[in-house]
Amino acid sequence: MSILYRIFYMRIQGLLPWGLRVVGGRNRPINLGRYAVSPGRRLAAYSMDITENRVGILRDVAQAVAQRGGDILYLHLQVGEGGKGTIFFIIDVTESTLDFGELTEALNEIEGVGNVDLILPVKEGLLIDTSNFPAYVGDSRVAIMRDVLLRSAKKELVKRIGHEATDALLYNIGFEMGLGAGEDHKKIARSVGIEDPKDVLELVTVPLFKTLGYGEAELRLSEEGGEIRLYRNIECEAAGIVGRTSCSLLRGMWAGVLTSVLGKEVEVEEVRCTAAGDGYCELKVVPRVQAG
Amino acid sequence: MMKVKDPKPLEFRNVLISPGRDFLGLSLTFKEDRPGLLREISEIIENAGLSINYIYGYSVGAEPRMILVVDITGRELDVQELINRISEVRGIGEVVVFEPVTRGLIADTTSFPPTVFGERIVMLRKSAVKELIRGLIGTIGPRAASGILYQVGVRMGRGLSRKHVSLSKELGIEDPFEVVEKVALPLFQSLGYGIAEVEKRGEKIVVKKYECIECTSLREVLEEHPDLVKDDGEIACSMVRGIIEGAVSEIMGIPYESHEEKCVARGDEYCELVLVPRK
């Protein structure tokens, strides 16, 4: 057994504090489009409530589908407080003689499952999840935006008000977005006993920044300020190489988050940027000096 | 378009918060898909006595994978044994563990970047949409803000609909209006923008939108900052109007222009967008 797993065991047994890092592996893209496109295939989807989660509930659902020759192409299961949740899956039944009504009944009979809805494709070979709406991450409703949003918004703004004014505007918008996000991060952190602002940033802000799709961040902060390195930052990746620093919105976001979480105003300046040809983006953080 | 009664909220629990609970995350890749694969994985998890709190996965596309989060609170778990058992399932590729950042909080840090149709995306929280709208209106005024958001929307709509058209061709959907109804608007909903219904009235196309993220955000911004807009005529949901106008024009193959007959930001119960061919 590897040292990493020994450490992990000790964590499970409460002999060591919980760690942070992924064990092995690498980043992989994740497709969040909840659809299946298979021309000529017979598809269907089921959406159901979990009224009471229990060990083995997914096994029973998967068994009901597999016994009837259905192949699950897409699956989303989530369970929240009180063991309540939802399951949504898309199946390919081309190779089976599956009776949808009979499968619905079988799913309804599974202990802990309630309200089973069958969703038929809008067109043979195309099934899009319209049974789950709106989408949330934590308590916040989210919309999935392509990176073209940032690219086009910046292009339009530059056309109307010029580069400098665009940078200032996006920074300010980002700052307000960051202040709000920082308050949320503190709330999440408090709920699991994290109080130290640096831990809030490392353990909540950085993973959320990544999981929402903005980029990967590495923090090197001290009382005097420090640096934030951003890898594959969506704003600059969308900009392409334009020969100038371009992280206005995300620079503002980090300034807002840091101000909220650290409880003191900071200034954030961009010293490296992929849009300027650097290998990564780097933000320099300094405490704001109060005038007078 | 088939309507689903009372859609359920979708929670991306790729960040899972449950104070006092211990979680373990697993990221799996698939080498091949076959019926019964999920049953075998879920049997292994059940045999380990674990309940599943989150799964997101797909067995189709360029890089099929699955993210699982299980609750291990109070259990003495042989993680290596669990990984070995899952790895032995025919069709499974790589199995990677991700740990909670602290007790009660786990985030899927193995997945990046999120994509849709192979293109990179960002999940914009509603609070961020509100700040974007408020910041633009507050700085450059409602008309200029509306103009920018509309242009951005048109570009987004045109880009997205090129995918809709190629996908529809693959599926043998020839009628452009059917592409709007059966592909574009269901995807609009599944991406979290709002619930949309469409009908053709002569040469007009009428889209009704419910719970549109931009319009509800704008309404909340105006409730919180009543001085931001001086004239009711300046209140307009622009980005989503641009998205739909851009998509409809691209799919129908002729330019359309649109105006909002109704909007929740102006106090209506739903938004109604009327599109007519541009003369």
Are residues B201 and B273 located together in one domain of the fold?
A: yes
Number of domains in chain B: 2
Task: Look up residue A12 and give its two tokens.
Answer: 């499970």
A98 and A163 inside one domain: no
Q: Among the three residues A133, A158, A192, which one is the final residue of a domain in this structure?
A: A133
Share of chain B above pLDDT 70, in %: 97
Domain extent, residue A98, equals 35-133
Q: Is A280 on the interface with B (CB under 8 A)?
A: no
Q: Domain check: are B82 and B198 in the same one?
A: no
- Residue from A15, A46, A55, A81 to probe the interface with B (highest B Cβ count within 10 Å): A55
Residue A129 maps to a domain = yes
Residues B132 and B237 in one domain: yes
The pair of structure tokens assigned to B19 is: 């104070």
Q: Give a yes or no: residue A4 inside a domain.
A: no
Q: Which residues contact B177 (CB under 8 A, 6 or more apart)?
A: B200, B205, B252
3-class DSSP assignment, residue B151: helix
Given B1, B35, B148, which is nearest A122 (Cβ)? Answer: B1
Percentage of residues in chain A having pLDDT higher than 70? 90
Q: What is the pLDDT of residue A80?
A: 84
- Which residue in A36, A81, A156 is closest to B148 by CB distance? A156
Shortest alpha-carbon distance between residue B196 and chain A (Å)? 10
In a domain, B29, yes or no: yes
Considering only alpha carbons, which residue of chain B is nearest residue A190?
A: B19
For the cut 50, the answer to whether the pLDDT of residue A280 exceeds it is yes
Total domain count, chain A? 2
pLDDT at B240: 95
pLDDT at A167 over 80: yes
Flag if A145 and B122 touch (Cβ within 8 Å).
yes
Q: State mean pLDDT over A155-161.
A: 85
Q: List the Cα angle A278/A144/A175 in 5-degree steps.
A: 55
CB < 8 Å to A28, chain B: 27, 29, 63, 65, 110-112
Q: Which residues of B touch A116 (CB under 8 A)?
A: none
Is residue A1 predicted with pLDDT exceeding 50? no
> Within this chain, do residues A91 and A155 fall inside the same structural domain, yes or no?
no
State how far the Cα of A228 lies from the Cα of A240, in Å rounded to an integer. Answer: 20
Give the burial class of A26: count Cβ atoms within 10 A of its Cβ; 0-12 exposed, 13-18 middle, 19 or more buried: exposed
Q: Which of B5, B37, B56, B85 to mutate to test the interface with A (most CBs of A within 10 A)?
A: B56
Whether residue A108 lies within 8 A of chain B, CB to CB, comes out as no
Instruction: Show the domain range for B224.
Output: 126-277
Nearest neighbour of A23 by CB, restricted to B53, B99, B128: B99
What is the predicted pLDDT for the residue at B2? 42
Residue found under tokens 């109070």:
B74
Instruction: Supply A105's token pair.
Output: 């009944």
Residues of A with Cβ-Cβ distance to B27 under 8 angstroms:
25, 28
> For residue A37, which residues of chain B lie inside 8 Å, CB to CB?
167, 170-171
Position B1 pLDDT exceeds 50: no
Q: What is the pTM of this model?
A: 0.88
Q: What is the pLDDT of residues B162-204, one digit of tens each?
A: 888 988 998 999 899 999 999 999 999 999 999 999 999 999 9
The closest of A245, A247, A265 to A179, measured between CA atoms, is A265
Q: Find out whether B59 and A90 touch, Cβ atoms under 8 Å.
A: no
Q: Is residue B226 part of a domain?
A: yes
Q: Would you give the DSSP letter of residue A276?
A: G
Whats the size of chain B, residue-wise? 279
Vertex B31: Cα angle to B28 and B34 (nearest 5) = 100
The partner residue sitting opposite B123, judged by closest CB among A1, A63, A213, is A213
State mean pLDDT over A10-17. Answer: 66
DSSP A224: T
Which CATH number characterizes residue A69's domain? 3.30.70.260
When CB atoms are compared, the residue of A9, A62, A128 closest to B38 is A62
Q: Indicate if the pLDDT at residue A12 is higher than 80.
A: no
CATH of the domain at B192: 3.30.1380.20
Query: What is the CATH number for B67?
Result: 3.30.70.260
Mutation site, B1, B97, B191, interface A, largest A CB count within 10 A: B191
Q: Is A158 on the interface with B (CB under 8 A)?
A: no
With vertex at residue A202, the alpha carbon angle to CA B126 and CA A169, rounded to the nearest 5 degrees, is 45
Tell me: do A156 and A240 sit in the same domain. Answer: yes
Confidence grade of residue A19 (pLDDT, cut at 50, 70, 90): low
Whether A78 has its CB under 8 Å from any CB of chain B: the answer is yes
| Predicted confidence (pLDDT) at residue A2 exceeds the cutoff of 70 | no
Let me know whether A128 and A160 are in one domain: no
- Taking CB atoms and an 8 Å cutoff, what residues of chain A touch B43? 59
Collapsed DSSP state (helix, strand, coil) of residue B201 = strand
Nearest-Cα distance to chain A for B204, in Å, is 23
Half-sphere exposure of B151 (CA within 13 A, CB side): 16
B221 and B245 in a single domain? The answer is yes
Structural domain contains residue B2: no
As a whole number, mean pLDDT of residues B53-73 equals 90
Q: Are residues A161 and A275 in the same domain?
A: yes
ipTM: 0.88
Q: How many CB atoms lie within 10 A of CB A163?
A: 14
Average pLDDT over residues B60-69: 89
The answer on B137 and B106 residing in a single domain is no
CATH of the domain at A245: 3.30.1380.20
Do A180 and A259 lie in one domain? The reply is yes
Q: Report the residue of chain B nearest A178, measured CA to CA.
A: B128
- Nearest-Cα distance to chain A for B261, in Å, is 24
Clarify whether residues B250 and B165 are in a common domain. Answer: yes
For residue A237, pLDDT over 50 is answered with yes
> Cβ of B148 and A176 within 8 Å?
no
Task: Point out the domain boundary residue: A133, A158, A189.
Answer: A133
Q: How confident is the model at residue B3 (pLDDT cuts 50, 70, 90)?
A: very low
Residues B148, B262 share a domain:
yes
Residue A48, pLDDT > 60, answer yes
Element spanning B243, H or E: helix B239-252
